[in-house]
């Protein structure tokens, strides 16, 4: 993958919980991790599984909320980027005031 061409998509994946290894000439140089996981250091397989599961659940909930609020609205990638740029609150429910 050419990071320069897919930076936005790669950052979205990291923000959703993925840890991304950045390579040069097929050699690992760095790792891109979600900001919330950066301070925790290494994690066990179980911790990663739980983190990824929580990230997917959050994205699913977000998708459901967007479909309710904007029937016929933007595609998923556009909606996720808008939410990222405008301050998504992870614990917000559909019943909260906007």
- Which range, 36-40, 46-50, 83-87, is most confident? 46-50
Cβ(13)–Cβ(22) under 8 Å?
no
> Does residue 57 have a pLDDT over 70?
yes
pLDDT reported for residue 1: 57
Cα dist. 75→16, 56, 82 in Å?
Answer: 17, 17, 11
3-state secondary structure (DSSP) of residue 24 = strand
pLDDT band for 90, please (50, 70, 90 cuts).
Answer: low
């Amino acid at each position: 993958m050419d990071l320069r061409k897919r930076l936005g998509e790669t950052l979205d994946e990291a923000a959703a919980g993925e840890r991304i290894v950045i390579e040069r000439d097929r050699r690992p140089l760095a790792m891109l991790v979600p900001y919330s996981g950066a301070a925790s250091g290494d994690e066990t397989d179980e911790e990663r599984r739980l983190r990824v599961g929580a990230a997917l659940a959050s994205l699913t909930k977000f998708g459901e909320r967007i479909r309710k609020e904007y029937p016929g609205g933007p595609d998923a990638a556009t909606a996720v980027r808008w939410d990222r740029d405008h301050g998504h609150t992870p614990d917000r429910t559909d019943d909260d005031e906007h």
